[in-house]
Amino acid sequence: MLEFQLDARRGGFHLQVECRFASAWTVIFGPSGAGKSTLLRLLAGLDRGRADEPVHGRVALNGHELTNTSRHLWVNPGMRRSGMVAQQSALFPHLSAAANVAYGLQDANGHQDVYGRREWTRAQRAQRVDEMLELVGATELVQRRPAEISGGQAQRIALARALAPGPKLLLLDEPFSALDGAASDALLDRLQAWTSANGVQTILATHDVSDALATSAEVLLLREGRQVALGPAAEVLAQERERLLGRLGSN
């Protein structure tokens, strides 16, 4: 279960949200500029705010606080056990697909480190990379560099890279924008099966209604940095549809 209450300013933009996600798969839905990416970055701990643009609030995953500004608590992104896939894949251009996927697998003796992250032996690492590439349907890309693969393939590799270390929280920011509908749906299905089997709290940010409906879970509707609705996908999206149609009618 993920709970957060956040108040952040970025230039003229003001994000204010307070939510509790009960289900393991939640969609953040909203037009571009609604604050989806900002919210995901805050959840990941990537943005800490600055003196002139402070961040206030609290983030807790399964009862563990990751951020609590009133207690000056801010867990380092690398220790949150959260994975993120952004729209622009952000693969390391100088590394092969396999090396990208292996990057987050701590190199050690197969024990857990103090943060509960698993450490991997060489053989375990290689096996994990193979598993992940298979999961995302990219086994043929092992030795390819990011410059040699398509945008959709890059998104698959980026997903494999985020999943490999075994995150507890998975943050997806329009992750399949470069894949066509059928490929995106198939990957989404496999991903959902994997995250529920591994107990991963997943948040998918999208402005695509079909993505929001396809995963048919909880939807948080964001608009201009404010949360407009939170509830079952069908309900929230139907309301939004009414509103948009209403606006169309009044024009």
Closest distance of CB 117 from other proteins, Å? 6
By CB under 8 A, residue 106 contacts other proteins: yes
Rank residues 162 and 203 by Cβ distance to other proteins and give the closer one.
Answer: 162
Helix (H) or strand (E) holding 59: strand 55-61
Judged by CB under 8 A, the number of residues near other proteins is 28
Question: CB–CB of 8/48 below 8 Å?
Answer: no
Cβ partners under 8 Å of residue 81, min gap 6 = 115, 116, 117, 165, 166, 167, 168, 169
Interatomic CA distance for residues 143 and 13, integer angstroms? 42
Residue 241 makes contact with other proteins by CB under 8 A: no
- For position 48 contacting other proteins by CB under 8 A, the verdict is yes
**To the nearest whole angstrom, how small is the minimum distance from the Cβ of residue 120 to other proteins?**
12
Q: How far is the CB of 192 from other proteins (least distance, A)?
A: 21
Residues 152-191 that bind other proteins (CB under 8 A): 161-162, 165
* Nearer to other proteins among residue 76 and residue 198 (C-beta): 76
β 64-68/55-61 pair status: antiparallel
Residues 6+ apart with CB under 8 A from 37: 86, 173, 205
Among 18, 23, 53, 88, binds other proteins (CB under 8 A): 88
Q: Closer to other proteins at the Cβ: 37 or 216?
A: 37
For other proteins, the binding residue among 86, 160, 179, 200 (CB under 8 A) is 86
Shortest distance (Å) from residue 94 CB to other proteins: 5
Is residue 44 at the binding interface for other proteins, with CB under 8 A as the rule?
Answer: yes
Please name the helix (run of DSSP H) or strand (run of DSSP E) that holds residue 202, with its range, or none.
strand 201-206
Do 36 and 87 meet the contact criterion of CB atoms below 8 Å apart?
Answer: no
Encode 68-82: b = buried (16+ Cβ within 10 Å), e = exposed.
bbeeeebbebeebbb
- The answer to whether residue 141 forms part of the interface with other proteins (CB under 8 A) is no
Count, in order, helices (H) and strands (E) of the chain.
Answer: 7, 11
Binding site for other proteins (CB under 8 A): 41, 44, 46, 48, 50-51, 76-80, 82-84, 86, 88, 90-94, 103-104, 106, 117, 161-162, 165
